[in-house]
Each structure stands twice: as structure tokens, then as C-alpha cells.
Amino acid sequence: MAQPAVPAAAHLPAKDASRRSAASQSRKDRMAALEADVRRLRERDEARVLRLAKRAGLFEHYWTLPELLAHLTEFAEARSKGRASQLKLAEDRMARVKKIESEEERKLDARRKILLGSFLLARFERFPLERERMQGEILRFLDTHKDETVRARNKALLADVLGIGAPDAVAPGIRPAASSKTGPQ
């Protein structure tokens, strides 16, 4: 008699299962957790500073705001000399996560563009009529760039792909000649 199939995940130790669930946590959830952690640590540090200021007698006198801030800053620095606060560490961790996510998104965006460009190039080779049909749209898109030099370079770069003669433009990688004016500008 055949035994019923047991899912592969049932054989994994609990440690692996917890890793998988942590790995599947979405970026938004991780970012929200970091923000909540920073908020909690900030509130805790503020409460700690107020308690310390009260113990030090800073509220028994009338201070101007700059004087009070100077005393609080001096007091907090003296208490935390030589160690990074948990708040600073949490803020640094959140900044690193944001930077990593931003870099990942840029990489994914570049990869999307490469894949779509490769797809179009393959389609243009296989179906020349499709290239002719899209040529006008692509040229109009290239004309949307605000810099005339960049527009001309982009068109020159894609001239062979689009099957058009290179416009009177700057070839890719070559800077335009200096203007006819002489002297410093």
C-alpha cells in the first residue's frame, strides 16, 4: 500500500521554517517595523532624558530655551560618552535598508529596460515591417529629450537599428566641436 505524499516542508527543522517566514516578509513590513522601532527608541530616549534632567534639577530653575538645550545636550553627551545609542543604530539600520532597496529598484529598472530593448531588437530583426511601423513613434519619443545634443546622439545611436540615415548629429561618444567664438566665455 502506498503512503500518502508528505510535503517537503514538513521535513524541515523549525529553524528553517522560521527563516523562510522571515525571508518572505515583505519590504514594506520590514520598513514599517524599522520605523516603529525608531519611533519607540526615540520616545524612550526622550523619556530617559527628561527623567535624567529632572534628577539633575534642571526643572527647578527658570531657564531660557538655549540654556536648557545646552544643559540637556551636555548632560546627554556625558551620559552616553563612548557608545552609540540604540536610536542612532536603528536610524542607521533604516537608512541602510532604504539605500539597499533603492539600489535594488534601480537594478531592476535597468534590467527591465535591457530586456524590453532586447525584445524590440529581436522583433525588429525578425519582422522588418514592425520596425518600419514603430520607427515614427520611436523618433518622436527620442525628440522628447530636452537637450538637443542628447537627442541627436540618441538618434545617431539608433540610426542603424531603425534603418534611417544618421542625422547630422554628433556620433555616439564624440563631443561636439567648440563654438566659433574665441576667448573666455
Judged against a pLDDT cut of 80, whether residue 90 lies above it is answered with yes
pLDDT at 26 over 70: yes
User: What is the rounded distance in angstroms from the CA atom of residue 33 to the CA atom of residue 15?
Assistant: 22
Q: What whole-number distance in Å separates Cα of residue 156 and Cα of residue 159?
A: 5
Is it the case that residue 105 has pLDDT exceeding 60? yes
Query: What per-residue confidence (pLDDT) applies to 69?
Result: 79
| pLDDT of amino acid 60 | 79
Instruction: Confirm if 176 and 149 have CB atoms less than 8 A apart.
Output: yes
Q: What is the DSSP letter of 110?
A: H
Whether the pLDDT of residue 5 is over 80: the answer is: no
Confidence of residue 177 (pLDDT cuts 50, 70, 90): very low
142-180: buried (b, 16+ CB within 10 Å) or exposed (e) per residue? beeeeeeeebbbbbbbbbeebeeeeeebbeeeeeeeeee
Mean pLDDT of the chain: 77
**Mean pLDDT across the stretch 15-36?**
68
Letter for the amino acid at 149? T
Mean pLDDT of all residues in 20-38: 75
